[in-house]
């Protein structure tokens, strides 16, 4: 089985974006709050956007199951206040749950959290509870920088985050550490902002000792871990300088990387540097890079092709990356598959 642990509803019906525009105008003080009841998206609207896009490409590329969450760049936690984020998260999580309900054999849901700059992380717990108990999510996306590029939140090792971590451990949910839109013009959201944030999250974890307090907590750092695998020697050296153990002992019992790396040399480096047990297959499809690579004739984000041919994995290791690691890191996903006899 090919399990893609990183997919977003980037092709959601246009009504969603139009409603969000009204909410953004409300947050700016330009109009009244839009009524969520006024957002009307039919099952046929959802089917059309999924069948023509994600599902078509999954079938073409040989992917069986996608862990599907709301569009990351749409989270935009820096817009409005906590109430705005709470309403937006609920709408987006409900929409993803409807996708899963229409295509239960091909998608499992992940949740976005209603984070807001300056808000106590505990304010996200009600939506996290609802997403698990009512929607059946198997993961949650955790934004380390709700301020949208200003980095006003404490590092991920700060105990203000602990209520979220306690709940994640209780529910056996891994969290994908995923930022959203940058509000700073110096950064491109899906370029340096995303990849820089992935690298920053890893460094925050390296500097601390979070997993002493939460030995069962699991984090996935997406986009191949940002710059981390490429600079593995630097991070090992920094760990030594800070008096930390080797990274395999210090972090790799809890931190995982996906394969959203869009060229063969990148996947080859990732699979050479990072232990196989810490690599999860993912494509981010349909995501940041949607074009065909003129050098290969294939889509940049067809990452299965890269994993299939990298010389750094034998066939048993490829099975780990494609399926086994996801089942181990995502217990609720594994139980959902076992309930289907898979």
Do residues 56 and 97 lie in contact, with contact meaning Cβ atoms separated by under 8 Å? no
Using the 8-state DSSP alphabet, how is residue 292 labeled? B
* 86, 127, 284, 323: the active-site residue: 284
Rounded-to-integer distance, Cα 10 and Cα 68, Å = 10
Token code pair at residue 30: 């330009």
Strands 65-70 and 279-280 turn out to be: unpaired
For the question of residue 284 being annotated catalytic, the response is yes
Half-sphere exposure of residue 227: CA atoms within 13 angstroms, side-chain side? 13
The token pair that represents 126 in the structure block: 């009600």
Please give the C-alpha separations between residue 90 and each of 17, 128, 130, 194, in angstroms, as whole numbers: 15, 10, 9, 24
Alpha-helical runs (H) found in 172-324? 194-207, 210-213, 232-241, 247-250, 264-273, 303-309, 315-319
The total number of residues written for the chain in this structure: 342
CB burial readout 204-227, b (16+ within 10 A) else e: bbbebebbeebeebbbbbbbbbbb
Helix, strand, coil distribution of the chain in percent, nearest 5: 50, 10, 40
Measured distance CA(270)–CA(73) in Å, rounded:
25
Q: Which pair of tokens denotes residue 173?
A: 């949910």
The label of the residue with tokens 């090919």 reads 2
Asked if residue 250 lies in contact with residue 212, where contact means CB atoms within 8 angstroms, the answer is: no
Tokens of 157: 């090792």
Q: Which residues are catalytic?
A: 284
């Amino acid at each position: 089985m090919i399990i893609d642990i990183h997919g977003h509803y980037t092709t959601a019906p246009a009504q969603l974006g139009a409603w969000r525009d009204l909410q953004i105008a409300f947050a700016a003080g330009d109009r009244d709050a839009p009524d969520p009841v006024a957002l009307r998206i039919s099952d046929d609207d959802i089917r059309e956007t999924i069948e023509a896009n994600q599902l078509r490409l999954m079938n073409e590329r040989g992917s069986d199951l996608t862990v599907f969450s709301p569009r990351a760049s749409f989270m935009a936690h820096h817009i409005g206040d906590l109430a705005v984020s709470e309403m937006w998260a609920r709408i987006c999580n409900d929409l993803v749950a409807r996708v899963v309900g229409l295509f239960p054999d091909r998608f499992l849901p992940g949740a976005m959290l209603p984070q807001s700059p300056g808000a106590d992380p505990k304010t996200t717990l009600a939506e996290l509870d609802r997403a698990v108990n009512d929607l059946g999510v198997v993961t949650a996306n955790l934004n380390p920088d709700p301020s949208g590029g200003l980095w006003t939140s404490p590092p991920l090792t700060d105990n203000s985050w602990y209520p979220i971590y306690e709940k994640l451990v209780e529910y056996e949910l891994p969290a994908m550490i995923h930022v959203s839109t940058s509000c700073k013009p110096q950064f491109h959201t899906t370029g340096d902002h995303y990849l820089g944030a992935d690298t920053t999250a890893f460094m925050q974890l390296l500097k601390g000792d979070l997993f002493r307090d939460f030995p069962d907590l699991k984090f996935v750092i997406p986009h191949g871990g940002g710059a981390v695998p490429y600079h593995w020697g630097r991070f090992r050296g920094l760990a030594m300088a800070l008096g930390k153990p080797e990274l395999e002992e210090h972090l790799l019992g809890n931190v995982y990387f996906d394969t959203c790396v869009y060229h063969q040399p990148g996947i080859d480096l990732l699979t050479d540097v990072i232990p196989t047990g810490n690599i999860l297959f993912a494509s981010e499809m349909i995501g940041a890079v949607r074009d065909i690579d003129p050098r290969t004739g294939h889509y940049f984000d067809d990452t299965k092709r890269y994993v299939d041919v990298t010389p750094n994995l034998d066939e048993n290791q490829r099975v780990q990356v494609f399926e086994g690691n996801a089942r181990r890191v995502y217990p609720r996903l594994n139980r959902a598959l076992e309930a289907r006899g898979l």
